Every structure is written in C-alpha cells, then in structure tokens.
Structure 1
Amino acid sequence: MSLFSSRTSKRPRIVPALDDADLARVLKQLNKRGGSVKQAEVTLVATLLEETGGDWDRRGHRVSVLADSTVESGSKLASAWLAKEPENPDALVFHSRVGLVRGLRDRHLEDAGQLVTQCHRAAELNPADPLPWVTLLGMARIERYAQSEVNAIWREATGRDRWHREAYLQMLAHLSPEEGGSSAAVLDFIDVVRARIPANAPCAAIEVTAAVRQYQGLVAQGGVRAMTAGQLWEGGQIAASLEQAASLWAKPGFFQHAAAQADLNVLAYALCAAGRAADAHPVFQALQGTVTPWPWNDDGPAVQRFEQDQAKAERGRQGGVGGA
C-alpha cells in the first residue's frame, strides 16, 4: 500500500480484496459467472497468481482471499484447476488452502493426509514459496500437532519470508487458549518476537492483534472479567504498543503490505475498546470505509459495529460526548 487517502470517508462496507484492485477485479468476474466451473475462471486465478510472482506477502493475501471466496460460494474451482494441472504449484497450494479454509470452518480437515501431501509437493515444485508451509501451520492448528512439529514448520515458513504476516497469525492462533494453548504461551511468543519485528513489517500488528483477542476473550466470559476487560489497555507493554501503533500506522506510506487495511481495522477497534476513540479518527479516515469482518463481528454485524465506533471517533475528534 503506497498511500492512504485523506478524502471524505466512503460508506463502510466489507471489502475482501482490501485495496488490491487486480484481486478485486478477479473476484468480481468470478462472482458474476456462477454455475459450473469454466476454463476461463481457472485462467483468471492462475494468471493473477502467476503475475504476483515472488511477492510472497501479496501472494499470501490473494490466495487467502480467493480461497475464502471459493469456500463461501461453494465453487469447485480449486478441484477443477488441480485436476487440469496436478503438478502446478499454484494449483496445489490453492487447493490445499481451500481445504484449510473448510477445515477451520468445520473444525475438521477432510482428507488431511492428501492436503498435507499437496503442500509438500507444492514446496518441492516452488521451494522459495513460504505459502505451503504457512498453510501447513494452519493445518497444524486443526490437527493439534506437537509443538516440536509446529516449530519445525514455522522455521520453514519464516525462513523463506521472515515477516510473513499470516505465519505469525497462524502461530498466534495455535498458541491461544481457544485452541488448546494458553495465555502464557501467547505472551511468551509475543515477548520473543516483539523486539525483532520492524515497526512497519507485514507482521507488525501481531502484538495488538493478540491484545484484541485477549480482550474479546475476557468480554466473552461475562461477569467481572467482562466488566474489567478495559483495564487490559491501561499501562504496561500493551498500552505502549497501542500508543506506538496509533502514532505510526495510519501515516501515508508507513505500511506497504497487502493486508495493511486489515491491520488498521484491528487498530481502530483496539483504540475504541481502550476508550481512545478520538485517537482512532485518523485510522478510520485512512480506511475510507474498508471493513474487515474481524474484529468487528465478535459481538454483532461487522459493518454496524464499525459504523458505531467510527461515529464515536468523529464525536471524539470534535470534542463531543461519546468520544470515549
């Protein structure tokens, strides 16, 4: 992302492609076609991924969004492509990613062995690509691999792209209490990576993301924990990380990675949850109405929650009531 616009905000809406115009164009064409898979659809996706080349960050974003769309629509695109080109590394990694999306939705992998084999074959055919290994990290979450196995996959993924955003998110999810890990494991992971990650790296939002997940977990428990969840943002390392993010992330050109707008959604949510809605105003301005489902959909429709907090940010900027 080269620049965040300062124009008047657009009406909030879910934008899966974020600011990737080429990806948005392909999604639009795929959504128009419907019905049985045609060769033209396979060509659309294959060409887009081929043109992405060795931009591993954008490749990961595009494969992820296309896989989500494929699963949501019930399309057989991934299977049709793999049947046509079984030794194409893009077809292999896309098919395995679609399987992962279904697995995360259903909490169970269909044909886990086959999907793992496809990832390894994709890695053999395109050794520099981190995405087969990142996909395996996701599968490890579902299959609950031993930590030693997960660590080995993690090293393969980050050895190819040190700051791969999704690799960090997959590891964070794997270590979380919701998936059999623990809060202590998450904190240990964040402590280890915090000092190493450049401020504008694709994975720079990992600490704020972890804090939002923790906050939402506390709110979900209800009772006293929910009532005091806001204290999470007060003082300490989390407050310092949020302050740094608020001062840097929305600046034009600071973030360049493909999912930068997704991370700005996380920041806007965190600032509002921390009672700093006024500080979220420039973040909402940078987003121009681009909404990601998470973290907004944790307690209702994402766009509605986004609009509510955006309104709070505007009131806070103007010094009105309800800006906190």
Structure 2
Amino acid sequence: MGRLLKSLVATTRTGTIATTDLCVAQISRLLDQDPGDWDRRTHRMGVLADYMADSRLPRSWAAREPRNASALVLSAWTQVAWARAQGRPHDTADATENCLLAAELAPEDPTPWVVLLGVARMQRWEQPQVFGVWNEVLARDRWNREAYLSMLGYLTPEEAGSRIQVLEFVDALCARMPANAPCAATELTAQVLQYHAVLDRGGFEALVARNHWSQAMAAQALDRVASTWAQPGFLRHARARADLNLLAYALMAADRRRDARPVFEALGGTITAWPWQAGGDPLTEFDQAQRRAGAGS
C-alpha cells in the first residue's frame, strides 16, 4: 500500500493520459487483490480516498469506466473525504448516485453502502434512512470497522443522536461481537470521543478531564482490551495498528503507564494521526507519551 501511494505521488504530478492510465492500473490491481476480504478492501478504499481527496483522478476513472464498481466507489469516497477535510457539507448527488450504481454492479460488496453511510452522516439524513443503509452494510460484512465507527459518529450528540443512543449502540455491539473483530475498537472510540468532548469544554472540566477514565464505564472499556490487543496476532484486521494507537492514547490519558508499555512495543513506532492530534502534533504527542510510559511505574 505504501509503495502504491509513493508511486501515485510520482505519476499524478505529470497529469498526462499515460500516467493517468498507469495510476488507474495500479489502483485497480490493488483493489482486485484478496477478493471477498471486505475488511481489507474497505481499508484500501478509505486510505486511497483520503490520500486522493484533492485529485481529479478518481472522478476521471469513474467517468471513463462508468460500469466499474471500484471506480465509482473510490470517486464517491474521495468526494466525502474532501468534504470532511473542508469541514463543511458538500453536494453529494454524484456520490450518492455512484454508490447506488456500484451497489447494483457489485451486490455482494459492502463498500458502496459504507460510503453511502458517510454521505448520509455528512448530510444528516433522518435516522430511519441511515439505519436502512447501515443494515445493508451489515448484511454484507457483519463487523465492518468503518461502518461501525461511522454510525458511532452519527449517533453522538454532536451530530444526530444522543449520549443514550451511543450507549445503547455500544452495549448492543459488545454483547455479541467477537473480541478481535475488525470493529472491536468501537467501544473505546466512544470513550475517547466523550473524553475529547470534555476537554473541548475548557475551563475546570478540561482540567479534571482525566477523571473520565476512573469512571466505571471508561475503566471497564480499557480493562476489557488492555491485556489482549497487544498480544501478537490477536488483532488481525487491516487497521489493527490504528486501534493499538487508540489504546495507547487512552491508557496514557488514564495514566496507566504500565499497561501502555506493551502496546507501544507492539506498535514499533507506527503512528496514526488520530487520536494523538487532539493534543497537538501527533508525532510529538506520541513520542512524549511513549517516553512517559517507559519512565513511569
């Protein structure tokens, strides 16, 4: 994946038809790998969409191959990624149309519905519509990580739901989810989002935000995963390193340095921007936390 992204940087700069064809061939080859592994397909699509949010290539590919489900989904996802990066709603009519057509062309593929869920979230669709899209994802990929995190975001008070809905959503998931499912980080993500909401209030609440991690629900969420996620081979999904970053961050926020050490060791220096960016530069925040974990008791 990393080699492809570097190659895309080199080839997209020229903007010629030949280099566009080369990029499309490289992307298509990657997305055709591991057929039926929806976790990795969703991951690859998401990484490419974020990386190419400012590029015209995905739309050009979809225009040239209007019956190619991968091209349609990638084009739609880059539109969603661009709008999210801009921090404002965006005209998503094309994205919606592309997702629905891709769903017809590849009825077993959950990624058109995953992207449509992102569209629904951005456009604040009514909950019955959103849950309809959500059910389409689950029918194809029961534990799709991107879909669970997208629904979690949609159900927060900051978007279209409430704290109660978040709790009900997480409780229902934890009651039946395998411990190492791709969406295993949903509960901990909910706790980190709540922690960030407290920090964002500022003032005295922000000063005592660490108390969040001593509350029963937050402490239990950490307890459930602190001893297992860092074990070799326990998490096998494509975004496992992102989930380990989340765990390391939460353990350090809770001042559980001893528990954080093996997580940092398992990461081996692999850093994701979120959630470290909440405190500043992700690399700086990660390095400081890692040093504190190594020095603490």
Shift in Å, 1:79 = 1.5
1:218 corresponding residue in structure 2 = 198
Give the SS at the match of 1:52.
coil
Equivalent in 13, 21, 37 of residue 55 of structure 1: 37
Give the SS at the match of 1:217.
helix
Q: Give the aligned residue type for 2:168.
A: D
1:299 corresponding residue in structure 2 = 279
Shift in Å, 1:237 = 2.8
Equivalent in 266, 277, 282 of residue 286 of structure 1: 266
After superposition, give the CA deviation of every residue in 1:189-231 in whole Å (9 maximum; x if it has no partner): 1122111111000001100111011101101111221122212
1:117 paired with 2:83, answer: no
Q: Give the aligned residue type for 2:37.
A: D
1:144 corresponding residue in structure 2 = 124
Give the SS at the match of 2:226.
helix
Give the SS at the match of 2:276.
helix
Unaligned runs of 5+ in 2: none
1:268 paired with 2:251, answer: no
Unaligned runs of 5+ in 1: 1-22, 320-324
Give the SS at the match of 1:163.
coil
Q: Give the aligned residue type for 2:140.
A: R
Equivalent in 139, 154, 158 of residue 134 of structure 2: 154
- Once superposed, what is the RMSD of the aligned Cα atoms? 1.3
Separation (CA, whole Å) in 2 of partners of 1:51 and 1:189: 33
After superposition, give the CA deviation of every residue in 1:116-154 in whole Å (9 maximum; x if it has no partner): 111011011111111111111111111110001111111
Shift in Å, 1:235 = 4.2
Give the SS at the match of 2:206.
helix
Equivalent in 72, 83, 96 of residue 103 of structure 1: 83
Separation (CA, whole Å) in 2 of partners of 1:312 and 1:195: 34
Separation (CA, whole Å) in 2 of partners of 1:216 and 1:111: 29
1:247 corresponding residue in structure 2 = 227
Shift in Å, 1:181 = 2.5
Shift in Å, 1:94 = 0.5
Separation (CA, whole Å) in 2 of partners of 1:240 and 1:142: 31
Identity of aligned residues (%): 46
After superposition, give the CA deviation of every residue in 1:21-62 in whole Å (9 maximum; x if it has no partner): xx1111111122223152101110011101132110000110
1:13 corresponding residue in structure 2 = none
Give the SS at the match of 1:167.
helix
After superposition, give the CA deviation of every residue in 1:164-203 in whole Å (9 maximum; x if it has no partner): 0000000011011222422222112112211111100000
1:207 paired with 2:187, answer: yes
Separation (CA, whole Å) in 2 of partners of 1:222 and 1:184: 23
1:31 paired with 2:9, answer: yes
Separation (CA, whole Å) in 2 of partners of 1:44 and 1:91: 12
Whether the aligned pair in 2 keeps the contact of 1:265 and 1:292 (CA below 8 Å) is yes
1:9 corresponding residue in structure 2 = none
Q: Give the aligned residue type for 1:248.
A: T
Equivalent in 46, 60, 64 of residue 64 of structure 1: 46
Separation (CA, whole Å) in 1 of partners of 2:139 and 2:272: 29
Separation (CA, whole Å) in 2 of partners of 1:217 and 1:118: 34
Give the SS at the match of 2:158.
helix
Equivalent in 156, 168, 184 of residue 148 of structure 2: 168
Give the SS at the match of 2:235.
coil
- Please report the TM-score for the alignment, with normalisation by the length of structure 2: 0.95
Give the SS at the match of 2:52.
helix
Q: Quick check: 272-281 or 107-116, which moved more?
A: 107-116
- Please report the TM-score for the alignment, with normalisation by the length of structure 1: 0.88
Q: Give the aligned residue type for 1:183.
A: R
1:192 paired with 2:172, answer: yes
1:41 paired with 2:5, answer: no
2:292 corresponding residue in structure 1 = 312
After superposition, give the CA deviation of every residue in 1:215-256 in whole Å (9 maximum; x if it has no partner): 011011112211222122114232122012110000000011
2:62 corresponding residue in structure 1 = 82
Separation (CA, whole Å) in 2 of partners of 1:203 and 1:219: 25
After superposition, give the CA deviation of every residue in 1:61-103 in whole Å (9 maximum; x if it has no partner): 10100111112xx322101211221110000001011011012
Give the SS at the match of 1:245.
helix
Shift in Å, 1:111 = 3.6
Separation (CA, whole Å) in 2 of partners of 1:208 and 1:309: 18
Structure 1's consecutive aligned runs of 4 or more residues displaced over 3 angstroms after TM superposition are: 107-111
